[in-house]
Structure 1
Amino acid sequence: MLAQVSISQVTRPLMKSLNIAYNPRIDQLRWLAATIVFLFHFNIEYRSLGGNGIGSKWLGLLSEGHTGVGLFFTLSGFLFMQIALHKETIVYGDFLRNRLLRIAPLFLTIFMVATSIGRDKFQPQDILYIFTSNLGMAPTSLTVITGAAWCISLEFTFYLIFPFLARFAMERGPRYLVKLLLLMLFFKVASYTVSDKGTLMFFSTFVGRFDQFLVGMLAAMLYRQRSASLHRASPFLVPLAAVLVVANSAMQATVAPFDPAQAKSLFWIFWSTLESVGWAIFIVAWVSFDKGLPVWLEKVLCHGGKVSFSFYLLHMAMLHLLAQSVGMLQIPGLGVGNAVLMLVGSYAATWALATISYSTIEEPFLRMRRAYGAIKPPTLVEAK
């Protein structure tokens, strides 16, 4: 019999899932995260071709666009905690089965591409990097076209322990997650004192990223408690949350911009928590926002969210391929329009590629998912 993780208390959050109702706002947030990361890497590729990079610190959301990964991590914690709040029982085996069906087909495809590229350097033990794509000399990190896959192993680590964390959080309340965040802060400070490459450690490992999952979970619990008032205040909360996210990125661009070569900075001890708190506020505000967008825009953004996983994992390959084959556009008299054309063209090409990838690699496996949670029937004692 499959192990079950009991979850108490029930609510009805929104999400596209077999386990909870669909909320288009979630797909729109996925689209936003993937787009921010795309713009970040486009800026890097454009500069490598000789173009002018982003100068203003207030555009840190783009120059520090790796923050889109922080949004992905925070959103994962938020979504899964919403499901936990909706279910009383999660079947652990079915939960992991769904997660594998969601990420494994495309991730393994990218992993095989990476090992094919590096075939002459491949060692049998490198196959273990499937489970640790963010550590050491992972095959996916040795080439730019598969480099985005580094965060998948962190995501899966969260999947492995999430049902238990959700159960404990439901039993003990939000304070349980706050205590975990305090422990993570302690581990960050302690790790900083002995790490020679603190910036890269905080950027790409459990120590630097796990708090973002926890912040997302905590945001889901607080959203459940204050849902009605948040929906009423959402027209004001959305712009305020957007300003907070922009200010967060501007602060990082000013104080400690991401540079893998930068050994250490005290700012990075607190960076991921600050980043995820900003995104958590934005997630809660946007999910609470009831006013509809134009129908065509809703469809476009929701499609972007649907294909966001393919978009994220494939965008660096497309950007690099276009840079190598097309290079810098230099249409006379167009000026900055050359950069705009490059941006729009590369984004459209990546969108088309992601749509093909989703329909051929992801979607067939997604149809094999099944519900992994069910409301537990009352016992005879409870029925009385």
Structure 2
Amino acid sequence: MQSSNIQYLPRLDHLRGLAAMIVFTYHLYHHFYHSWQPNPDAWYLGLMVEGHTGVGLFFVLSGFIFMLISLKNGEIRYGDFMRNRFLRIFPLFLFVFFVAISIGRNNFGAADVLYLFFSNLGQAPTSGSFITGAAWTISVEFTFYAIFPFLAMAVADKGATYLSRLVLILLLFKLGAYFINEAPKHMLYSTLLGRLDQFLIGMMAAMVYQRAQEKRWLQQWYWLPLSLLAVWAGVGAMAHFFSYQAQEQHEPWWVIWPTLEALLWAGVCLAYLCTSVQLPKFLNWVLELMGQVSYSWYLLHALVLWLWSQLLGPLSLGSFWIDLPLNMLVVGSLSLAFAKLSYHTLEEPFLGMRRRYTE
């Protein structure tokens, strides 16, 4: 996504596209095949079985991008920043929200309008159906936007260690909340308390990236496969030992898992952005397309999955290892095309209304 506040980095779009694809694959796998149950024996497919980890990558990227803008441009004008974020996020989110309250019209109450800002808490209308369920992350994201300029100012004043101290404070509060909350795993998964450190780690990764660019670190080819291997192993361990799909809520690993997850994805971001390895032109184009429409793809792919399953059902040639990639290709292509339609129709008209928010 191009911005007037920073030079366009196509590989950031690639990473956004990757995050959306992981979440799409996760939803396809469980909606078509595994019914949201843990699958510890398939730990080696953790990036699909527990593909909610794509949300962690999205959050790390948000912290990374805005911190990079701050580092390169200095002070952020709060009003213009929030105006831009509103124009970027809310047109499509409002559309999805009104779909959700229309579906649940018989249970709608006036106070439900407040869920526009708290779609990740309580009985949010968007969480009432599969086709709008992904919207829970938007409130977490927007709350981070609201505090980011102040965090950036604090980093400029207090130095890089400010963010690591915040992460430590959050970890202690997470530990306390773990012993108080009745469903701590879901709480740590879906609230700002559980996720804020992922944005902070993204911010720290931006500071490391700036230094890496100056010192020409991480350019060797092997850093990228090593970082991807670390993510694969980490998510695989989560899938095997403390799956989010498992019924057990008092799983102590979830106190630190979002932090570890963010560190793993930050490593991938740094390795990919710094590597000198070049992608083939066609793959580069596909990833840029996926990144451009990643927000629409993330919010709307569940509708395509749902309609496909209701009208046709999963394509089946008799073997899971053939059926899975076949459905990913066909339904994924359709959902990506729908996302592109949405991007140009519901998002693009508002993107031109944004303005520069840095000096």
Deviation at 1:232, TM superposition (A): 5.1
Indicate the residue corresponding to 1:303 in structure 2. 289
Larger helix fraction of residues: 2
Q: Residues 41 and 334 of structure 1: is their aligned pair in 2 closer, same or farther, counting only changes over 3 Å? A: closer
Contact persistence 1:33–1:72 (CA under 8 A): yes
Give deviations 1:150-208, integer Å, cap 9, x for gaps. 01000000000000100111221111001100100110011011011001000000111
Query: Which of residues 78, 84, 88 in structure 2 aligns to 1:92?
Result: 78
CA contact (8 A) 1:199 1:260 kept: no
Of residues 177, 198, 210, the one that matches 2:196 is 210
Q: Greater shift after overlay, 283-292 or 225-234?
A: 225-234
Q: Give distance in 2, aligned partners of 1:122 and 1:172.
A: 46
Deviation at 1:291, TM superposition (A): 2.8
Q: CA deviation at 1:42?
A: 0.6
1:188 corresponding residue in structure 2: 174
The superposition leaves residues 303-333 of structure 1 with CA deviations (integer Å, 9 ceiling, x where unpaired) of 11000000000011111111111013344x6
Q: Aligned ranges for residues 317-356 of structure 1 at < 5 Å? A: 317-331=303-317, 336-356=321-341
- Secondary structure of 1:259's aligned partner: coil
Q: Is the 8 A contact 1:223 1:230 kept in 2?
A: no
Are the structure 2 counterparts of residues 336 and 183 from structure 1 closer, same or farther at C-alpha, using a change threshold of 3 Å? closer
- Which residue pairs with 1:147 in the alignment? 133
Corresponding residue for residue 381 of structure 1: none
Query: In 2, Cα distance between the equivalents of 1:37 and 1:146?
Result: 14
Name the structure 1 match of 2:56.
70
1:141–1:173: structure 2 CA closer, same or farther, 3 Å change rule? same
In structure 1, the gaps of 5 or more residues are: 1-14, 375-384
Q: Hey, what's the Cα distance between the residues in 2 that align with 1:245 and 1:128? A: 36
The DSSP-based 3-state class of the residue aligned with 2:314 is coil
Q: Retained in 1: the 8 A contact 2:40–2:239?
A: no
Take 2:320 and 2:66, find their aligned partners in 1: how far apart are those partners? 46
The amino acid that maps onto 2:165 is K
Which of these two proteins has the greater Rg computed from alpha carbons?
A: 1
In the alignment, the residues of structure 2 paired with residue 191 and residue 164 of structure 1 have an alpha-carbon distance, to the nearest angstrom, of: 25
Aligned amino acid, residue 265 of structure 1? E
Of 249, 252, 265, the match for 2:251: 265
Preserved contact between residue 223 and residue 284 of structure 1 (Cα < 8 Å): yes
Give, in whole Å, the separation in 2 of the partners of 1:336 and 1:108. 38
Separation in 2, partners of 1:58, 1:280: 21
Aligned match of 1:369: 354
Say if 2:260 is the partner of 1:274. yes
CA contact (8 A) 1:234 1:286 kept: no
- Structure 1 vs Structure 2: percent identity of aligned residues? 46
Aligned residues: 358
Q: Which residue of 2 aligns with 1:382?
A: none
Instruction: Give the TM-score of the pair, scaled to structure 1.
Output: 0.90
